[in-house]
Structure 1
Amino acid sequence: MLDTETLDLARKVNDRLTVAGQIMVTAESCTGGLIAAALTSVAGSSAILYGGFVTYANEAKSEMIGVPATLISAHGAVSEQVARAMAEGARTRAGVDLAIAVTGIAGPGGGSDTKPIGLVHFGLATPSGTLHQEMRYGDLGRTQIRAETVRTALAMILDVL
């Protein structure tokens, strides 16, 4: 179901979180739960993964993980500000060590000149603060953008562990 590279990254995340004794949560929009799916493809992942919030609709971002609707209105759902708020909200709601959040435009529609298809914002909330990363994958197609987003999210987690 998942490619070898993604599974390898998921195993490494599981291993490092296990060694660190940490638990994480996901907050996913454009990936629709694929990051959590990658992590749960690894045996023993229940020890490191609290669960995941699939917050596809703007209302879900607000109601499930506390992203202020005013923040979404001001910056758009696909923004650094919302990615950070998603990660922080998920981490707080789950009461865990680490939260990864993604929000982006996977296409085939929905892009604009300022927010093109393939734009994804990542938020990673830890006890030390919240990191942000922006990726512009280009119009690779919906499936490929989502797959690249999962790999980037897992690599981002590894970078902080």
Structure 2
Amino acid sequence: MIPDDNPSRKLTVANPDAPGTQYISLVGNTYGMLITGEQTDGRYCLIDMRVPDGGGPPPHRHDFEEMFTILEGEIEFTFRGEKYTVGAGSTINIPANAPHNFRNISGRPARMLCMCTPAGQDEYFLRIGDAVAGKDAPPPQLTQDELAERRRRAVELAPAYRSVFL
């Protein structure tokens, strides 16, 4: 038996160009919060990731599923120490708890959608990244001290968001 409809939950239409879409800069990437955990009652979040050539996060792992659909470019995923190249049109799922990272190897900017289930990664990114005006906004020019502060904050907050850097 399924529960009754919850009329307090609203339909969400995700458009990266919609006013009000929050964009943040994180490790040189630009992430758009298309669908947040707040909108899905914590079930999942959907993030529009724009990754410059050579960009990507350091190795890490977390206790939630993470699925990427590559829209533009080629991304090299390292999963449990093995490298996989994934091109536009493909989807890759990273199981919970598995060590991984990714890097754009396209020679040009890449774009992908990232779904995390359950949600939370969206909140984490908003807490550790820098707000930018939109999807094409340049990343802020940070001093070495500011970069060190961002790394410290990311490591410090990671356990609260069920993540660890390797």
TM over 0.5: no
Q: Which has the higher contact order (CA 8 A, sep 6+)?
A: 2
TM bin, normalised by shorter chain, reads under 0.3
Higher fraction of helix: 1
TM-score of the superposition, structure 1-length normalised?
Answer: 0.27
When you count strand as a share of all residues, which structure comes out higher? Answer: 2
